[in-house]
């Protein structure tokens, strides 16, 4: 019963329009509605796909970084453990620097480490062997009672013998961060991140350290493996995230550890001829992406200590939306960092927008063709009716 009044109303309304209009307008409205719905659902589904892909990608990259960092750092711990076993087993004498040099050289030569391995004692003596990754040279550093207060630096030949004297430089292992933390804690641990003395404060390092005691429990010295954070930076830079994606690692304090976009995550302050490194807070980074992400995390969680477990968020930077994955990196000892992977939405939306535009263009083309067909069809249908109507009027 309700349809009868409605049909009468529509009939009266459409009776005011020409027959061609009555035939073609509903047809066009159907086509326009179909085109609009196709475009809308195409864009909506595209956005949902972007959300899924972006979250999956950032989480996957975060996991890869976490695994690489832990594997890289764990290698240092394992080398120190094996070396300590050799010392405790009587196979390596910490007072025989010739034997220590040969042992360190062998470990580095065999590729077990791509960094520095060294030992310092309570008398201020020091011995260390370092691989230069740029040219493959192996450097030997030694400080004895006879050379104090400097340590001598030599290049080693292919058999691990001192081949060429390079230079001398003042150095006391007992005042270095790696030595002091091992002495203070009295157990295997990690040093804080510090400026690399051997590289003239041009990079940040961290050392796995292990105190060595005599049979009475007295500290003899500290065994350490210095790891350059530059190697982790290189790993981040080589990751294929997205055209404009970035990754960085920071400490819970907010200090940057490494970044895929920042070669030196620190400030260099000059005091006359000397240089001092000041750690850079992520929120103070020159990278807008890094600083904005850190500020958003601080706002979201209150402080970085509150971030537990893997988190995924999205937020705007200068009007553009970004996806971010945050994952803690813990070694079960001291290391407690945050891995952050950030990707702009446009890196994913570009293809979606292109597909949506193409869909709309094709739909518009189909609409135009449909309208033309509708006009032709309407003329074909209405012409005989109009002719019949005209003939009827003439007869009347």
Q: Which residue has the tokens 């025989």?
A: 96
User: Mind giving me the DSSP string for 6-45?
Assistant: HHHHHHHHHTTS-HHHHHHHHHHHHHHHHHHHHHHHHHHH
- Domains assigned to the chain: 71-228 (3.30.450.20), 231-347 (3.30.450)
* E-only strand ranges, 112-265: 116-121, 126-131, 138-143, 150-156, 162-170, 189-190, 194-195, 204-213, 219-228, 246-251, 256-259
13: Cβ contacts below 8 Å, ≥ 6 apart: none
What does DSSP assign to residue 308? -
Q: Which two tokens stand for residue 339?
A: 């891995």
Quick count: other Cβ atoms within 10 Å of Cβ 125? Answer: 22
The pLDDT score that the predictor gives to residue 32 is 72
Q: Are the C-beta atoms of 342 and 324 separated by less than 8 Å?
A: yes
pLDDT at residue number 269: 78
Tokens of 351: 């293809």
CA distance 291 to 183: 36
pLDDT digits 0-9 by tens, 16-26: 556 566 666 77
Between CA 361 and CA 370, with CA 367 as vertex, the angle to 5 degrees is: 145
What are the pLDDT digits (tens) for 155-174?
A: 998 888 888 888 888 999 99
Tell me phi and psi for residue 369, to 5 degrees: -60, -45
Q: How far apart (Å, rounded) are the C-alpha atoms in residues 82 and 91? A: 11
| Residue 183, pLDDT score | 96
Cβ burial, residue 337 (10 Å; 0-12/13-18/19+): buried
pLDDT at position 366, please? 74
Residues of the chain with pLDDT under 70: 1-24, 27, 34-36, 38-49, 112-114, 197-202, 271-273, 352-353, 356, 382-383, 385-396
């Amino acid at each position: 019963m309700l349809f009868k009044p409605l049909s009468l109303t529509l009939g009266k309304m459409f009776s005011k329009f020409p027959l061609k209009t009555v035939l073609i307008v509903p047809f066009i409205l159907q086509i326009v509605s179909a085109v609009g719905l196709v475009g809308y659902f195409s864009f909506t589904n595209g956005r949902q796909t972007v959300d899924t892909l972006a979250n999956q990608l950032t989480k996957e990259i975060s996991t890869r970084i976490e695994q690489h960092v832990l594997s890289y750092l764990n290698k240092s711990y394992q080398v120190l453990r094996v070396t300590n076993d050799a010392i405790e087993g009587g196979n390596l004498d910490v007072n025989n620097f010739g034997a220590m040099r040969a042992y360190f050289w062998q470990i580095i030569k065999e590729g077990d480490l791509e960094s520095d391995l060294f030992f310092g004692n309570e008398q201020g003596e020091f011995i260390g062997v370092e691989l230069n990754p740029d040219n493959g040279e192996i450097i030997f550093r030694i400080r004895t009672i006879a050379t104090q207060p400097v340590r001598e630096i030599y290049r080693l030949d292919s058999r691990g013998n001192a081949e060429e004297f390079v230079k001398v430089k003042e150095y006391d292992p007992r005042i270095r961060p790696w030595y002091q933390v091992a002495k203070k804690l009295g157990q295997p641990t990690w040093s804080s991140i510090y400026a690399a003395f051997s590289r003239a404060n041009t990079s940040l390092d961290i050392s796995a350290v292990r105190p060595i005691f005599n049979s009475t429990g007295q500290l003899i010295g500290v065994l350490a493996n210095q790891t350059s954070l530059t190697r982790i930076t290189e790993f981040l830079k080589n990751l294929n995230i997205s055209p404009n994606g970035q990754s960085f690692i920071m400490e819970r304090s907010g200090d940057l550890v490494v970044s895929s976009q920042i070669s030196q995550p620190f400030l260099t302050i000059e005091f006359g001829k000397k240089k001092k490194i000041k750690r850079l807070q992520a929120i103070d980074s020159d990278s807008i992406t890094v600083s904005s992400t850190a500020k958003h995390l601080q706002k979201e969680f209150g402080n970085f200590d509150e971030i537990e477990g893997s988190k995924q968020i999205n937020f705007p930077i200068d009007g553009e939306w970004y996806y971010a994955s945050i994952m803690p990196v813990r070694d079960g000892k001291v290391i407690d960092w945050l891995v952050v992977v950030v990707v702009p939405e446009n890196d994913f939306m570009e293809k979606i927008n292109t597909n949506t535009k193409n869909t709309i263009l094709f739909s518009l083309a189909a609409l135009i063709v449909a309208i033309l067909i509708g006009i032709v069809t309407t003329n074909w249908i209405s012409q005989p009716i109009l002719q019949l109507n005209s003939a009827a009027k003439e007869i009347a």
